[in-house]
Amino acid sequence: MATYAIGDLQGCFTEFQQLLEVIRFDPAQDKLWLVGDIVNRGPDSLPLLRCIKQAGDAIRMVLGNHDLHLLMVAAGMAANHPSDTIQAILDAPDRNELLHWLRQQKLFHVEGQYAMVHAGLLPSWSIAQAGQLAHEVETALRHDDHHELFARMYGNEPNYWQDDWTGYIRLRVIINAMTRMRVCTLDGRMNFAFKGNPQSIPDGYMPWFSVPHRISQNTTIVCGHWSGLGLHITDHLIALDSGCVWGGQLSAIRLEDRKVFQIPCAQ
């Protein structure tokens, strides 16, 4: 039995299938962790989403910003971007079933010595607090009035956390940190405009995982989202977005021994 974590898929179904063959994934024995951004920008979001849904308990996933964007577009709260490739899902006969399943997925997952999130955690959040905050968002996503969340979810402000935030502002900051953040200041102010490599980070900002005295630093966090960072593995960080959809590679790691497996982009 092994646990494998895989980076951002973004509709790259062919590479996903190839990578499962390379790691010899056995759903009867093994577990698969997916760091979010299952859909969008790649060519095959619909069959990929169906495949993951059908895999059942063998797969654990967290939601990424592109997954939430699909839900927003489907709810009429956001428009398709010219580079979006989610229309096949929106037109699918099983659309409602797929979208309902996607809304049930987690924003943050903790198991043993590992925690999984799509983008990152703010420096002031412990693992326990992050779990509680993610649960607040997950509850709102699964509620019958989830459209109310979607109507207020987008926005870059506030770009910092306060424990006394309430309502949809509170949920927006949680979502932005866990699905969009790459860099922040020492006091946890996020910069959502930055998408480049670590050498081009604006003055005053640093990778969220490099903030000194980050409360969650003793837990190994598995994440994705930052293709400019690439595959980045340290004692307590496993960042797996190696930019498959941009012509890079799709990466997996076996958590038990940290062996890395990669498949080059097919296109």
CATH number, residue 250: 3.60.21.10
Q: Measure Cα distances from 221 to 16, 212, 240, 241 in Å.
A: 22, 16, 11, 13
| Residues in Cβ contact with 44 at an 8 Å cutoff, skipping those fewer than 6 apart | 11, 12, 13, 14
| Residues in Cβ contact with 82 at an 8 Å cutoff, skipping those fewer than 6 apart | none
Q: Residues 99, 74: contact at Cβ < 8 Å?
A: yes
pLDDT band at 217 (very low <50, low <70, confident <90, very high): very high
Task: State the residue range of the domain holding 210.
Answer: 3-264
How many domains are contained in the chain? 1
Predicted model pTM: 0.97
Once rounded to an integer, what is the mean pLDDT over residues 200-217?
Answer: 97
Neighbour order of strands in the sheet with 249-254: 59-61, 31-34, 3-6, 249-254, 259-264
How many residues are recorded in the chain?
A: 267
Q: What is the dihedral of CA 193, 197, 203, 206, to 10 degrees?
A: 90
Residue range 96-143, pLDDT digits in tens = 999 999 999 999 999 999 999 999 999 999 999 999 999 999 999 999
Q: Cβ of 230: how many Cβ atoms within 10 Å?
A: 17
User: What percentage of residues in the chain have a pLDDT greater than 70?
Assistant: 100
> Helix (H, G, I), strand (E, B), or coil: what is residue 233?
strand
- Site of tokens 């003055």: 203
Q: Residues 62, 106: contact at Cβ < 8 Å?
A: yes
